[in-house]
Structure 1
Amino acid sequence: MLTTQRKKAILQALKRDGQVLAKQLSETFDVSEDTVRRDLRELAGEGLLQRVHGGALPASSAVVPFAQRQGIESAAKRAIGKAAAAMIRPGHVAIIDGGTTSAELVRHLPADLRATIVTHSPSVAVALVDHPSVEVIVIGGRLYKHSVVTVGAAAVEAMAHIRADLYFMGVTGVHPQAGLSTGDLEEAYIKRALAARAAETVVLASADKLNAASQYAIGEITLAQTMIVEKGTEAALVRPFEKAGIAVVRA
């Protein structure tokens, strides 16, 4: 089997099974594990998969810079944002992550909502400037320009004083085995710290993030209590999360 054929078969197996193991692939193709690992390295270099110990997982496509993601219209993101906004009740303290789906959440907050929004996203904070009855608390720190959010020790320190009802977490990967992940190490620390400050963590998961993984782990999927997905998401994709005790909301 040619290298190109082998790589195509690896990607097909990854799409079908949600993960591949180097040992099994070497047996299937009758080649050495070193050959398979080289194939996986090259495919990872092209952004087509995410290597993990012993094999690989599907790579998340939700890792492009914020400005590019912002320009992509998505009915699914609007629906997820609307469903998330409906979860915030009067008097709530809610933490809202950065990201394009979070931007949709903010747009759908009712004009008469009286609540407190805590965010480390300058974009989210600015979007709420004209909201008549929402108090905004901005977490400061070093600006991570890729996602337009603050990160670092100062941000973590500020979080220690917050007790929130809800945390709406943005991720680039949600995988039954690999858990919740993102494309930046400091951002992963911040997200985990924010989850620890909320009574309920809600993951905003459009289809491109499900059954995918990025380089840096935020935590196990059980770090979240609720997940909002697209209305048409296949039952097989969300079943592992429901079995783990996560409430899945279809938007």
Structure 2
Amino acid sequence: MLAAERRDHLLGLLAREGKIVAKDVAAHLGLSEDSVRRDLRELAAEGLCHRVYGGAVPVSPAVADYASRQSVTPDGKRKVAAAAVALVRPGGTLILDGGTTALAVARQLPPTLTCTVITHSPTVAVALLEHPRAEVLLLGGRIFKHSAVACGAVTMEAAQNVSADLCFLGVTGVHPEAGLTTGDAEEAAMKRALAARAADTYVLASSEKIGTASRFRVLPWHEVTGVITDAAPDHAVLERLATHNVEILAAA
């Protein structure tokens, strides 16, 4: 099989199965595992897959810059945001992560809702300036421009001194094997710190993130209350998540 044919086969398998197991592909094609891994390295270098131990999974599309991500599946993000807002109770305290879906949550909080929002996202804080009943606590620090959030030691220390009923967490990838992932190690650590300060943590995951992965794991499944997504209920990945006892909240 020519290199171009192997490439097409691997990309087709990734699209159909949602993952590639190098040893299985090697056995099926009569190739060495080293040859398959080399092909996967080349595909990963082009941004066409994300390599994991033993193979590869689809790469998350949510790795573009912040401005570009605002135009990615806006309807899906609005649906996820609406489902998330329904969980916020009057008088409650919410930790709201950064990112475009979190910004959609901030914009959909009812103006009559009295609540406290803790965030490390300047864009989320600004979106809430005109919310008459929301008290906003902004955690400061060095701004990570890709996601428009504060990160680093200063922000981490500030996060240790807050607590909340809910945390809405953004990730770039949701995959049964790769887990909940994002593209930056420091941002992943910040997300863990925020989730640790809430009684319940829900992941905001519009459909384009389901079944994909990025480089850094955020949280294990047992530390997450649920995933809010607009992906179809019969999506193969969501069915596999059931084996991790993850609650799936449908965003219609």
Name the TM-score, length of structure 2 as normaliser.
Answer: 0.96
Pairwise CA distance, 1:72: 4.1
Q: Aligned in 2, Cα 1:155/1:13: closer, same or farther, shift over 3 Å?
A: same
Q: Say if 2:180 and 2:217, in contact at 8 Å, map to a contact too.
A: yes
Q: Tell me the secondary structure at the aligned position of residue 201 of structure 2.
A: strand
Pairwise CA distance, 1:46: 1.0
Structure 2 counterpart of 1:113 = 113
5+ residue gaps in structure 1? none
Aligned equivalents of 1:100 and 1:63: distance in 2?
Answer: 12
Q: Aligned in 2, Cα 1:26/1:72: closer, same or farther, shift over 3 Å?
A: closer
Pairwise CA distance, 1:233: 4.5
Q: Tell me the secondary structure at the aligned position of residue 137 of structure 1.
A: strand
Structure 2 counterpart of 1:136 = 136
1:224 paired to 2:217: no
- May I ask how many residue pairs the two structures share in their alignment? 251
Aligned equivalents of 1:231 and 1:13: distance in 2?
Answer: 21
Structure 1 counterpart of 2:18 = 18
Structure 2 counterpart of 1:67 = 67
Q: Deviations over 1:98-121 (max 9, x none)?
A: 111111111111111111000010
Aligned equivalents of 1:244 and 1:7: distance in 2?
Answer: 32
Pairwise CA distance, 1:27: 1.4
Structure 2 counterpart of 1:103 = 103
Aligned equivalents of 1:128 and 1:22: distance in 2?
Answer: 48
Q: Say if 1:175 and 1:221, in contact at 8 Å, map to a contact too.
A: no
Aligned equivalents of 1:157 and 1:219: distance in 2?
Answer: 19
Q: Say if 2:93 and 2:115, in contact at 8 Å, map to a contact too.
A: yes
Aligned equivalents of 1:52 and 1:72: distance in 2?
Answer: 25
1:37 paired to 2:37: yes
Pairwise CA distance, 1:231: 5.6
Q: Tell me the secondary structure at the aligned position of residue 88 of structure 2.
A: coil
Structure 1 counterpart of 2:46 = 46
Aligned equivalents of 1:12 and 1:149: distance in 2?
Answer: 36
Q: Say if 1:178 and 1:220, in contact at 8 Å, map to a contact too.
A: no
Pairwise CA distance, 1:73: 5.7
Q: Tell me the secondary structure at the aligned position of residue 88 of structure 1.
A: coil
Q: Which amino acid in structure 2 is aligned with residue 70 of structure 1?
A: Q
Structure 1 counterpart of 2:171 = 171
Aligned equivalents of 1:57 and 1:79: distance in 2?
Answer: 26
RMSD: 1.3
Name the TM-score, length of structure 1 as normaliser.
Answer: 0.96
Q: Aligned in 2, Cα 1:235/1:26: closer, same or farther, shift over 3 Å?
A: closer
5+ residue gaps in structure 2? none
Comparing 152-161 with 234-243, which one deviates more in the overlay? 234-243
